[in-house]
Amino acid sequence: MKHLLDANTLIEAKNRYYGMEICPAFWQWLLNQNQSLALGSITSVMEELAKGNDDLAKWTTSNRTFFHGVSDDQTQNAYAQIAAHISEQAPKMKTGALEEFLSGADPWLIAKAISTGATVVTHEVLNLDVKRKFIIPNICKSFNVPYMNTFELLHRLEAKFVLQQ
């Protein structure tokens, strides 16, 4: 995978600008791009999304191949490096921030990006002053992992959603 999608990119798309009923082409485009190995996500994100009771949860469980495993040695080693790094930063953060971050999909997403050389796609924004929680762009910056948002991804991959005449 060249690009790994954070759960928030799929949730925001569903809830706002690419609702599944409004723009089914977006969701098909994601699957097509996944088949060509241009993008995907990870099983940890799939597990978070599948807990819902909505169209995105159904899409998630119907498209399991979109989500890639994190049990390989390279991803596990990268996760350990991330955990060690943020453990060092934890005293500067709000109480519980470390546990909250490590219990979610985000560190696994970054670890998978490290192990595969992928770019993380997220709607989180770099904020080196944040103290309430660990955020993806800050951790990506620490590990020299590239990141972007959905709209940058759409431009990079030259997405086109054209109505048939």
> Percentage helix, strand, coil, to 5, in the chain?
55, 10, 35
Q: Is 157 helix (H, G, I), strand (E, B) or coil?
A: coil
In 3D, which of 149, 117, 151, 155 has the Cα closest to residue 136?
A: 149
Q: What is the mean pLDDT of residues 55-80?
A: 97
Residue 103 sits at the vertex; the CA angle it makes with 37 and 85, to the nearest 5 degrees, is 80
pTM attached to this predicted model: 0.95
The CATH number corresponding to 3-156 among 2.40.10.10, 3.40.50.1010, 3.40.309.10, 3.30.465.10 equals 3.40.50.1010
Ranges of beta strands (E only) in 43-161 are: 67-68, 119-121, 147-148
pLDDT digits 0-9 by tens, 98-155 = 999 999 999 999 999 999 999 999 999 999 999 999 999 999 999 999 999 999 999 9
Domain locations in the chain? 3-156
